[in-house]
Structure 1
Amino acid sequence: MARDGLRRPTYRAVAQEAGVTHGLVVHHFGSRDALIEEAPAHTIRTSPSAGSLEPGTGRVADFSTGLPEMVTAAPDTQAFQYELLLESRRRPELPPPLRALYDQYFDATRREPGRMLPAGADRAPTRLVFAALDGLVLHQLIFGEPEVTDSAAEELRSLLRLLDADGDTTDDAHP
């Protein structure tokens, strides 16, 4: 579905990708709608972890450093998430499970700056930081260019350094 989109998923294509018979897919899901409704749960189970967003060090220099590699390692998974997001505009059953997935990403994005920024400042830039990272992932999926993702993520880290809890722009003060 990441390659071909959600508009015309076929049982045969899903069966071929999964290495099972067409009949097994039909039996398991029963309808194309059920197949698409299961997609967010599958995405949540197989999604790359938020580890590249949340190394847990509290160091600005470590924040989102693995982003280009995460996209390069699992581009179909990332593309599938965007396909699901777009399809959720047409299917009211999709937003709740997708919200759960994106809440995981958002929480990781919120926690790590919370370790770096002055108390109370972590909530204000979180949406902006998350939107920037999400946009970088989408850009890399479409245009490739992991080096652009890496460069832009470094620029984002530079901005976060300006807000660093210690006022330290070098990251040397963090353990």
Structure 2
Amino acid sequence: MTDPRPPRKRVTEYGSGRTALLDAAVRVVARGGLRRLTYRAVAEEAGVTHGLVVHHFGSRDALIEEAVTHAIRSSLESSALGAGTEGAGVFMGALADMVESGPELQAFQYELLLEARRRPELLPHLRALYEEYFEASGRELARLLPGEVSRGMSRLVFAALEGLVLHQLVFGERDVTEEALAELRTLLERLAGD
């Protein structure tokens, strides 16, 4: 009889091993919610021993906190936000691709946002990290629009983008996302022209 579990991987580099464990934690939460996040589940997903997960993070709360930080940073890196791009088209152009290439990352973030309603101790971490999204959105809008970009405008545009991500993640309607992005681009270009 063969063992159905994947063979254990040997992690040799500290940094890459830690990142692999954080990626595994993101996938576990994306599939089963925060309640499914255990050392054993992360270890199984990563193909390592659960002792290695304990060694790297020490506590479940530390694992959650670092996974949140990792997810937000990965999402910012994979999006056009903060990339130093110019033009409304480039600013939002890769959104549909980002959802398709990293659905676990997006699902993880939504799972944690909902979990924060039950576990308020997650709110400070999520609030601080979402501020990075809002600031990146504001910086990109400042490149596109004349004058000062208000906090409300920055959050409005980010909320539209985040809503489109959620819609595409749940319904898989890339064409709807692209159609809505085209409208948002047109609005921003008109504001930039005025």
TM-score between both structures, scaled by the size of structure 1: 0.81
Paired with 2:179 and 2:132, the residues of 1 have a C-alpha distance of 25
Q: Structure 2: where are the runs of 5+ without partners? A: 1-28
Q: Deviation per CA, 1:72-120: give whole Å up to 9, x if none.
A: 1111011101111111222233122222321221112111111221212
Selected match of 1:101 from 105, 125, 129 = 129
Report the identity percentage: 63
Question: Which whole-Å CA distance do the structure 2 matches of 1:140 and 1:81 have between them?
Answer: 14
Which of 144, 158, 182 lines up with 1:154 in the alignment? 182
Pairs within 5 Å for 1:93-132:
93-132=121-160
Q: Which residue of 2 aligns with 1:86?
A: 114
1:144 corresponds to 2:172: yes
Q: CA deviation at 1:42?
A: 3.2
CA RMSD of aligned residues (A): 2.3
Q: Comparing both structures, which one devotes a greater share of its residues to helix? A: 2
Distance in 2 (alpha carbons) for counterparts of 1:117 and 1:130 = 15
Structure 1 residues without counterparts, runs of 5 or longer: 168-175
Q: Secondary structure at the match of 1:155?
A: helix
- Does the Cα contact within 8 Å between 2:116 and 2:123 map onto a contact in 1? yes
Contact 1:44–1:101 at 8 Å: present in 2 too? yes
Q: Greater relative contact order (Cα 8 A, min sep 6): structure 1 or 2? A: 1
C-alpha distance after superposition, 1:26-59 (max 9, x if no partner) = 4555554444344323324543416413453442
The structural deviation recorded for 1:124 is 4.0
Q: 1:44 to 1:123 in 2, by over 3 A?
A: closer
Q: Size of the alignment, in residue pairs?
A: 166
SS in 2 for 1:64: helix
**Distance across 2 between alignment mates of 1:126 and 1:27:** 40
Measure, in 1, the Cα distance between the counterparts of 2:50 and 2:152: 49
8 Å CA contact retained: 1:68, 1:149 = yes
Amino acid aligned to 1:60? A
TM-score (norm 2): 0.74
